[in-house]
């Protein structure tokens, strides 16, 4: 009964529990089908409605829909004026896109170490890494817990930097009782199926600054405008438009926007369930020796995209890899978020070396992401906890 599945025992679960999954219901499907039968498949009324609704939800003046969260970061770097020779500071414990967006613009990502408690970027290390070339900071609200926004904004003001918050994990999160989305210069979101709401692929950028808003809109559609106030030559007629910048086709479709609106209608329920699950994990897992639970700052309210635990490796006979494989064998879809960005071969080729961010590197050796998504049942949560207990008990010294 208690033989580990990896040693030939019966797995605790018969079916595999993924670490994340979307929740799309019949109502969502209906909204998408309506658009498919309408006149507009791309950039129609649903895009405008989604942007308006999203801006209202996060409390921002402007929202720009875009093809995905990576394109959102790319557009944000463009709007911030990042160009060749510029340095931009970000966290190594994030998805590669948070740093790749700087490279797209010809800039250089600089990695600041993380705070070993919150795993978010360490503000003091950010300040140490500022040079004359630094133009922007891209903090990431890792797992859904907001970074210290006041601290980041203070440094940005002191050195004249733009702040681009990668909020791919933190839709609906709150910092000092205010929603993430209007607290820095530019905030970016992702609607990949593992995130809080989904449009298949999709993203959103929010800002309160009209100039940034206009640049973001231009970038999303080839750098082309029909806006008479922006034209540099005389309006030659009703067909006339001008390309003012080198932009991309990063547009979201109306089909996706319809799904996005329908999903946004359910965001409060999604967030409530995510927070409930995190609380249950906290309660149940604190009794299992050998793990460090996620630390939460008192001034913020996480959106709980991920539940990341740390193994106290000194207490076990084996390493993280063996424990990870044993958890997987029990049909629990554990994961690791993230491999430090500069470990990737592409970044090595650019000259980044191990040793840059010691706290991030140590954390990476010890973390495991447990399944967390609104559609999880209480029974699923219990399975995860029982498996953790079973596996860690077996391997504990």
Ligand X SMILES: *Cc1c(COP(=O)(O)O)cnc(C)c1O
Residues annotated catalytic, as ranges: 195
- 188 versus 310: smaller Cβ distance to ligand X: 188
What one-character DSSP code corresponds to residue 254?
A: H
Is residue 192 within the footprint of ligand X (CB under 6 A)?
yes
Closer to ligand X at the Cβ: 70 or 262?
Answer: 70
| 3-class state of residue 62 by DSSP | strand
Q: Point out which span in 37-45, 63-71, 219-227, 259-267 binds ligand X (CB under 6 A).
A: 63-71
User: Min. distance of Cβ 70 from ligand X in angstroms?
Assistant: 3
Between 138 and 311, CB nearer to ligand X: 138
| CB 367, min distance to ligand X, A | 15
Question: Is 203 near ligand X (CB under 6 A)?
Answer: yes
- What is the nearest approach in angstroms of ligand X to the Cβ of residue 358? 21
In the numeric block, which tokens belong to residue 50? 């989604």
Shortest distance in whole angstroms from residue 131 CB to ligand X: 24
Q: Which residues of 162-188 are buried (b: 16+ CB within 10 A; e: fewer)?
A: bbbbbbbbbbbbbbeeebbbbbbbbbb
- Count of CB atoms within 10 A of residue 332's CB? 27
Residue nearest to ligand X (CB): 69
In order, the DSSP letters of 321-353 are HHHHHHHHHTTB--B-----GGGSHHHHHTT--
**Strand, coil or helix: what is 187?**
strand
Tell me if residue 8 falls in helix, strand or coil. Answer: coil
Please say which residue, 140 or 381, places its beta carbon nearer to ligand X. 140
Q: Please, which residue, 76 or 388, has the CB nearer to ligand X? A: 76
Tell me which DSSP letter residue 2 carries.
-
Is the CB of 164 or the CB of 212 nearer to ligand X?
164
The CB-of-202 to ligand X minimum distance in angstroms stands at: 7
69 binding ligand X? (CB under 6 A): yes
Tell me: does residue 253 bind ligand X (CB under 6 A).
no
Q: Which 326-345 positions form the footprint of ligand X (CB under 6 A)?
A: none
For residue 214, cis peptide bond before it (omega within 30 degrees of 0)? no
Identified binder of ligand X from the candidate list 65, 105, 190, 256, rule CB under 6 A: 190
**The two three-digit tokens of residue 178, written as one number:** 């205010």
Helices 69-79, 210-220: inter-axial angle, 10-degree rounding: 130
Structure tokens at 387: 């498996």
Please report how close the Cβ of residue 318 comes to ligand X at its closest, in angstroms: 29
Q: Using the rule CB under 6 A, which residue among 169, 274, 301, 390 binds ligand X?
A: 169
Q: What is the 3-state secondary structure (H, E, C) of 110-154?
A: EECCECCCCCCECHHHHHHCCCCCEEEEECECHHHCCCCHHHHHH
DSSP-based helix, strand, coil % in the chain, nearest 5: 40, 15, 45
- Does the protein bind ligand X through residue 94 (CB under 6 A)? yes
Q: Is residue 68 near ligand X by the rule CB under 6 A?
A: yes
168 forms part of the interface with ligand X (CB under 6 A): yes
Is residue 74 a contact point for ligand X (CB under 6 A)? no
Alpha helices by DSSP H, listed for 227-333, are: 254-264, 267-285, 320-329
User: Closest CB to ligand X among 168 and 259?
Assistant: 168
Is 215 a binder of ligand X (CB under 6 A)?
no
Which listed range, 43-51, 68-76, 144-152, 292-300, lies at the site for ligand X (CB under 6 A)?
68-76
Residue 171 has, within 13 A of its CA and on its CB side, a CA count of 29
CB 108 within 8 A of CB 270: no
Contact with ligand X (CB under 6 A) among 22, 65, 70, 90? 70
Q: Which residues contact 25 (CB under 8 A, 6 or more apart)?
A: none
Instruction: Among 86, 122, 165, 166, indicate the residue that binds ligand X (CB under 6 A).
Output: 166
Binding site for ligand X (CB under 6 A): 68-70, 94-95, 97-98, 140, 166, 168-169, 190, 192, 203
């Amino acid at each position: 009964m208690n033989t580990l599945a990896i040693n030939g025992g019966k797995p605790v679960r018969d079916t595999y529990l993924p670490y994340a999954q979307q929740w799309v219901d019949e109502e969502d499907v209906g909204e998408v089908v309506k658009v498919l039968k309408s006149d507009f498949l791309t950039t129609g009324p649903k895009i405008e409605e989604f942007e308006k609704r999203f801006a209202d939800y996060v409390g921002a003046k402007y929202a720009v829909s875009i093809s995905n969260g990576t394109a959102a970061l790319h557009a944000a770097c463009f709007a911030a004026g990042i160009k060749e020779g510029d340095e931009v500071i970000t966290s190594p414990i994030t998805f590669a896109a948070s740093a790749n967006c700087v490279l797209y613009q010809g800039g250089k990502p600089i990695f600041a170490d993380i705070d070993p408690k919150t795993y978010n970027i360490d503000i003091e290390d950010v300040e140490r890494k500022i040079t004359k070339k630094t133009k922007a900071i891209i903090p990431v609200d890792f797992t859904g817990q907001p970074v210290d926004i006041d601290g980041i904004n203070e440094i940005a003001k002191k050195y004249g930097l733009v702040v681009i918050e990668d909020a791919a994990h933190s839709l609906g999160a709150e910092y000092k009782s205010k929603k993430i989305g209007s607290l820095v210069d530019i905030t970016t979101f992702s609607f990949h199926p593992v995130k809080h709401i989904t449009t298949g692929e999709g993203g959103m950028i929010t800002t309160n600054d009209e100039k940034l808003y206009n640049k973001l809109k231009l970038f999303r559609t080839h750098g082309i405008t029909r806006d008479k106030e922006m034209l540099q030559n005389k309006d030659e007629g009703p067909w006339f438009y001008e390309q003012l910048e080198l932009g991309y086709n990063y547009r979201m479709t109306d089909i996706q926007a319809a799904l996005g609106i329908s999903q946004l209608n359910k965001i409060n329920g999604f967030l409530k369930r995510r927070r409930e699950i995190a609380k249950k994990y906290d309660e149940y897992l604190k009794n299992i020796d050998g793990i460090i639970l996620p630390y939460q700052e008192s001034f913020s309210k996480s959106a709980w995209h991920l539940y990341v635990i740390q193994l106290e490796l000194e207490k076990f006979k084996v390493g993280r890899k063996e424990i990870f494989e044993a958890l997987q064998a029990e049909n629990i879809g554990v994961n690791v978020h993230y491999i430090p960005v500069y470990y990737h071969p592409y970044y090595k080729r650019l000259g980044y070396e191990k040793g840059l961010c010691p706290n991030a590197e140590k954390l990476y050796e010890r973390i495991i992401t447990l399944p967390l998504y609104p559609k999880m049942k209480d029974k699923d949560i219990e399975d995860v906890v029982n498996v953790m207990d079973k596996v860690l008990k077996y391997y504990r010294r």
